Amino acid sequence: MIIRAVCSLLVVLATSAGCSGAQSGGNPLVRGMESPSEIVLEGCTLAQKKCTRCHTMDQLLATEVGTPEAWRMYVHRMRLMPGAGIREAEEPKIVQCLVYRSFGSEGLATLKKEAK
């Protein structure tokens, strides 16, 4: 009872992983994000699934890029890797996750200004 209550409180406060949150349960990409949008969550789920075919999650978490545009270019290049299994429509969602994670909503705003 009490544990359940604490968990739902955490989910509300921090979209916390670890309390089996519906979408983000256990996804380290989402950990610590402030109120991520549905698309960001979706993108992070995709990134967790697809990018870890070839990279470890630790590598992904440790990657730092200089600009939101750099994430877009990486994800595009990765999608074209043989065997990546990333669909075209999934690309912008993954980019949103990674950009939001690195640059917050300001980063997302610069993405929207440039062509999607």
Q: Which is nearer to ligand HEC, 54 or 109 (CB)?
A: 54
Give the whole-angstrom CA distance, residue 43 versus residue 27: 11
Least distance CB 19 / ligand HEC (angstroms): 26
Which residues of the chain form contacts with ligand HEC (CB under 6 A)? Answer: 47, 50-51, 53-55, 60, 63, 74-75, 78, 81, 83-84, 86, 94
Least distance CB 109 / ligand HEC (angstroms): 21
* Radius of gyration from C-alpha coordinates of the chain: 15
Q: Which is nearer to ligand HEC, 25 or 79 (CB)?
A: 79
End-to-end CA distance of the chain: 45
User: Environment class of residue 74 by beta-carbon count within 10 Å: exposed (0-12), middle (13-18) or buried (19+)?
Assistant: middle
